[in-house]
Amino acid sequence: MKHILMIATGGTIASKETGEGLAPAISSDELLACVPEVAQVCSVDTVQPFNLDSTNVHAPHWLEIASIVEKNYSRYDGFVVTHGTDTMAYTAAALSYLIQNNAKPVVLTGSQKSVYSRDTDARRNLSDAFLFCADDNAYGVRIVFDGSVILGTRAKKTRTRSFNAFSSIDFPAVAVMREGRPFYYIEGRKPQGEPVFYRQLNEKVFVLKMIPGLSEDIFDYLDTHCDGLIIESFGAGGLPDYNDNAFFKRLSHFISMGKTAVLTTQAEHEGSAMDKYAVGRKLRSCGRVLEARCMTLEAIVAKLMWILSFARGEEAEKLFYVPVERDIF
């Protein structure tokens, strides 16, 4: 029988009505008691490092979860992380970079309704997470939600209310949960050797979403507060060349200070193609502008925070294009 550690962090799944709206208030042991059937397939210990609405979860919490996994890695066969849905995809991506060469499953799940709601999806999701985590072929960081098993680097929350809240962007789901077990679409090979844990992230990363008419004056802030800039551009990718190419000039200056810039697209599917249009090709003149291609925004943010915690310039560029858990291709 597999031995699994459940790491409870809050979210809707653990929320109760407070009179001022839902807020996390249910303990890890209470959550586990709602799925007694998992005792037939695994033994479970619980830990609760924090109990937060995931709107408040960011890099220090990602590092804390990774640290718990690292400290307990030899004692357990897998890990289930209960988490709010709003930033779950960011946490899953971050854990994919913080825990690499990982032969054990780290499974994130949550729900769109509290575990105590009459028509909740929480019990199914939590049960599926444990059943997947106990499977002999499971490994790596995955989100298990509404019967789908999604790579931690490919997940995005695409619905705010429906039970099928998460989608796997431009990559197939790893598996689906049916009749109490996973049916795999993709059967990868478990990594060999020891896992590699990273213990730092650089939060000085900014996402700039382009809108028509945006002023280049935004760089007055970016130049002094950011080490990494992610530009969410229009369509296939590019910058406006109005105001005498002001955006290009300011971006060139940003990069000349040893900072890292990444171009992505606001479109959810099919990724960027920076060389397709003139407004994209002109970015080549700005210096080292990285292209995210098919990566999700969540993965770009987490990967850049990971890389910039220890690398700059050419080294950062090389690392960005090295695939981790099929994040870029």
Active-site pick, 9, 12, 82, 109: 12
Q: For residue 23, what is the enclosing H or E element? A: strand 22-24
Question: How far is Cα 142 from Cα 109, in angstroms, rounded to an integer?
Answer: 9
Check if the beta carbon of residue 196 is closer than 8 Å to that of residue 100: yes
Coil, helix or strand at residue 183: strand
Backbone angles phi, psi at 185, to 5 degrees: -90, -35
Q: For residue 231, what is the enclosing H or E element? A: strand 228-233
- Which structure tokens are listed for 21? 């709206």
Taking each helix axis from N to C end, the angle separating 297-307 and 88-98, rounded to the nearest 10 degrees, works out to: 40
Check if the beta carbon of residue 145 is closer than 8 Å to that of residue 109: yes
DSSP structure class, residue 233 = E
Handedness of CA 293, 297, 298, 300 (dihedral sign): positive
Residues 6+ apart with CB under 8 A from 158: 165, 166, 167, 268
Note if 224 is an active site residue.
Answer: no
Question: How far is Cα 258 from Cα 253, in angstroms, rounded to an integer?
Answer: 9
Residue keyed to tokens 């009749």: 179
DSSP structure class, residue 52 = B
Check if the beta carbon of residue 189 is closer than 8 Å to that of residue 173: no
Cα 263 to Cα 123, 209, 253, 301, distances in angstroms: 39, 11, 16, 12
Instruction: Give 100-125 as a DSSP string.
Output: ES--SEEEEE--SS-TTSTT-SHHHH
Catalytic center residues: 12
